[in-house]
Amino acid sequence: MASLLSLLTIALSTSYAAAQTTVPLYGQCGGLGYTGSTVCVSGSFCNWDSDYFSQCIPGTAPPPYSGPINYWFPFGDSYTSTSFDPTSTLPNIHDPFGNPPFPGFTGGGGENYVGFDTETYNSSVIFTYNYAYGGATINASLVTPYEPTVLSLIDQVNEFLTGGVASKPATTPWTSANALFSVWIGVNDLAGSYGEPGDRGAFADTLLSEYFALMQKLVRFSSELLMFCRSDIHSSAVVRPSFCPDKHVLDENSAVGARNFLFLNVPRVDLTPLMVSEGATAQAQLAAVITDFNTRLASRVSSFKGNNTGVSTWLWDSNSVFTTILSNLKAYGFVDAVSYGNTGDFWGNNFHPGQAAHQIFAKDISTLMAGSLWF
């Protein structure tokens, strides 16, 4: 018994000692994937070299950045994703994306509009938490994504709400005034369902009702809704309605506080090289479904704004921008409408615009939002 106790004591003091280990001069003290000590030996400090490597160097740490920081929370699919993992390194003064290293991994390769608007067309430092996920649909039960692991818009918003930063922790002190929420979704929903039988307009409304229920969750929960959903939690006889926020969000975070929303409508996916290869009939059918969806989206955006005093909305008409560029290719410096993957191509691959196109999108978005937030 006594020896067991002393063994335990030794084990405990060993792990205590390990927690106190200081990193020697020029040793590693941080970086993506690093799990060791971040405490530098006295007389040195942990200096950021790259996303993957911080090192103890002699001297004292410079004061932390004290200028204004704004926050951007994008949601969407591969047109927006930079492959951010919200459970890994968060955006910081050295890398406004946190992880993977800026500009991340994108659908079309290179930097996308999120990168350009975060780092090129910004008028302040922006920390961008990019929840968008490649392949995303709004609700995976309504339009099945290409892989079951894909995080839908529902999953992404819930990840934001429940993953920690919705509650404005010390790591991420966003406010209603300094944060932008943006959504660019629908490419996969429509490309994955336009040929289905049934009323496509009614289906668009189903998708949009779920989309805007999520936006409403980001704004706030009305006291009536809170009362209703809270009482419902205690009634095991009633099935929880899908518009009720998750139970622990209700309990801990009844006022989320999003106020600034940028919506991006569905672009001309009917003109992607992939759809061109499907033939003109399929392209025309998809184009019509997209136009109808976008009309309904625009009216949802006005209704959403009307329902929420203090909410500002912007709607970027990506569809028109694609049309304009693809019908004036030479004027924008592109070679043709169907080549992809090379310098001078609009498309980065057969379904995604490339970096040069994204830079034009980013500039256009910054013009749309000029004078607000950080644009």
Ligand X SMILES: *[C@@H]1O[C@H](CO)[C@@H](O)[C@H](O)[C@H]1NC(C)=O
| Residue 111 binds ligand X (CB under 6 A) | no
DSSP for 112-142, please give it. Answer: -HHHHHHHTS-SSEEEE-----TT--S-TTT
Site residues for ligand X, window 346-375 (CB under 6 A)? none
Site residues for ligand X, window 191-220 (CB under 6 A)? 210, 212, 216
Residue of the chain from 21, 50, 123, 327 that contacts ligand X (CB under 6 A): 123
Residue of the chain from 14, 15, 175, 242 that contacts ligand X (CB under 6 A): 242
Q: Are 315 and 265 in contact (CB under 8 A)?
A: yes
Binding-site size, ligand X (CB under 6 A)? 18
Cα–Cα distance measured from residue 109 to residue 125, given in angstroms and rounded to the nearest whole number: 24
Q: How far is the CB of 123 from ligand X (least distance, A)?
A: 5
| Residue 307 binds ligand X (CB under 6 A) | yes
Q: Which amino acid type is present at position 261?
A: F
CB atoms within 10 A of CB 98: 24
Listed in sequence order, the DSSP H helices in 220-279 are 223-233, 247-252, 273-276
Site residues for ligand X, window 141-160 (CB under 6 A)? 141-142, 154
Q: Which of 9, 131, 16, 21 is nearest to 76 (CA)?
A: 131
Q: Which is nearer to ligand X, 300 or 352 (CB)?
A: 300
Q: How far is the CB of 221 from ligand X (least distance, A)?
A: 13
Please name the residue that has the structure tokens 């500009």: 103
Q: Which is nearer to ligand X, 27 or 110 (CB)?
A: 110
Beta bridge partners of 269: none
Q: How far is the CB of 54 from ligand X (least distance, A)?
A: 18
Relative to beta strand 53-58, strand 28-30 is antiparallel
Q: Which is nearer to ligand X, 65 or 146 (CB)?
A: 65
Q: Which is nearer to ligand X, 51 or 119 (CB)?
A: 119
Q: Which is nearer to ligand X, 28 or 99 (CB)?
A: 99
Q: How far is the CB of 18 from ligand X (least distance, A)?
A: 35
| Residue 274 binds ligand X (CB under 6 A) | no
Q: How far is the CB of 277 from ligand X (least distance, A)?
A: 31
Q: Are 180 and 260 in contact (CB under 8 A)?
A: yes
Residues 6+ apart with CB under 8 A from 187: 77, 78, 79, 266, 267, 269
Cα–Cα distance measured from residue 303 to residue 283, given in angstroms and rounded to the nearest whole number: 30
Q: Would residue 83 be called left, alpha or beta, if left means φ above 0 and alpha means ψ between -120 and 50 degrees?
A: left
Q: Would residue 294 be called left, alpha or beta, if left means φ above 0 and alpha means ψ between -120 and 50 degrees?
A: alpha
Residue of the chain from 25, 39, 125, 337 that contacts ligand X (CB under 6 A): 125
Q: How far is the CB of 350 from ligand X (least distance, A)?
A: 29
Stretch touching ligand X by CB under 6 A, among 103-111, 138-146, 290-298, 351-359: 138-146
Q: Which is nearer to ligand X, 171 or 327 (CB)?
A: 171
Q: How far is the CB of 98 from ligand X (least distance, A)?
A: 11
Stretch touching ligand X by CB under 6 A, among 70-78, 121-129, 221-229, 281-289: 121-129
Cα–Cα distance measured from residue 113 to residue 117, given in angstroms and rounded to the nearest whole number: 6
Residue of the chain from 303, 327, 342, 367 that contacts ligand X (CB under 6 A): 303
Distances (CA, A) of 319 to 110, 285, 327: 22, 15, 12
Residues 6+ apart with CB under 8 A from 85: 99, 100
Residue of the chain from 259, 300, 352, 358 that contacts ligand X (CB under 6 A): 300
Site residues for ligand X, window 35-64 (CB under 6 A)? none
Q: How far is the CB of 181 from ligand X (least distance, A)?
A: 14
| Residue 122 binds ligand X (CB under 6 A) | yes
Chain contacts with ligand X (rule: CB under 6 A): 96, 119, 122-125, 139, 141-142, 154, 210, 212, 216, 242, 300, 303-304, 307
